[in-house]
Amino acid sequence: MNGRMELKENERLEELGIDSLKIIQNRDMYCFTSDAVILANSVSASSSDRALDIGSGSFIMPMIIAAKKNVGRILGVEIQPEMCDMARRSIEYNSLGDKIEVMNADINDVKDSIGIFDIVISNPPYFTSGGMKEKEEIRIARHEVTLTLRELISAVRSTLKFGGSFYMVQKVSRLAEVIAVMSDADIIPKEITLIYPKASKEADTFIVKGKRGAKHGLIMKRFVVYNEDGSMTKEAEKMYFKDGRNG
């Protein structure tokens, strides 16, 4: 921890609940959600692995993975310079510069030059259109303004090693599309986890784990975030670091 952090207008420091880690958030820009937390906790890594996060936003996923997983190094590529500025200051504040690198770029422009990775992750835009009344910074994060699903998977194909793992969260309404696009790129879905806000509700999002060049064969799982009384399930508490270094 590098001590006091000077925050800019509309910024706040949010505790992550592990090792006193904190992340900068700005109320006027896109703030991370539980989907990113669940996705980051789903990643399996080893100390020799190089990971890539496409569309890193506030860099919540690289920070969680660096803190909780035994990963070697993580490169985050984010197109919005303001998000990268916040991320660099968060990473410096938490002394994670030896684990996380920030790149302010369009993944479509750098996918063929940034190298090959053991793991690629992404919490991409969910919506193909709309959001015209949203602030541009938020619209870019939520809607396919600068990165479509096909462009994302093309970038994964360019950066993921043969046999490497790809992790993504997306809306259940796009499940069939995701399976088709990934399979076309020879990134074969191997595991899908449906995420339920409560057991009594329909699944809203899902996490897919794919492997480049793998044989077909799919495992389905489920994950429930909240109990019916509104409290977090034990599984969700672990992902939110309530029990320390779980995951």
Percent of the chain with pLDDT over 70: 95
- pLDDT value at 57 more than 90: yes
Residues written for the chain:
247
Q: Is 151 helix (H, G, I), strand (E, B) or coil?
A: helix
How confident is the model at residue 63, as a pLDDT? Answer: 95
Task: Give the integer Cα–Cα distance in Å for 4 and 96.
Answer: 16
- Dig out the tokens for 2 from the structure: 């590098």
Q: How far is CA 98 from CA 39, 45, 159, 163, in A?
A: 22, 17, 21, 26
Q: What is the band of 6 on the pLDDT scale with cuts at 50, 70, 90?
A: confident
User: Highest-confidence range of 28-32, 131-135, 196-200, by mean pLDDT?
Assistant: 196-200
| Amino acid letter for position 106 | D
* DSSP code at position 93: H
Who has greater pLDDT, 1 or 140?
140
How confident is the model at residue 132, as a pLDDT? Answer: 67
Count CB neighbours of 106 within 10 A.
Answer: 14
Who has greater pLDDT, 72 or 130?
72
118-128 per-position pLDDT tens digit: 999 999 999 98
Q: What is the band of 247 on the pLDDT scale with cuts at 50, 70, 90?
A: very low
90-114 per-position pLDDT tens digit: 999 999 999 999 999 999 999 999 9
| Amino acid letter for position 165 | S
How confident is the model at residue 1, as a pLDDT? Answer: 63
* DSSP code at position 111: T
218-241 per-position pLDDT tens digit: 999 999 999 999 999 999 988 875
Q: For residues 93 and 2, is the Cβ–Cβ distance under 8 A?
A: yes
How confident is the model at residue 245, as a pLDDT? Answer: 42
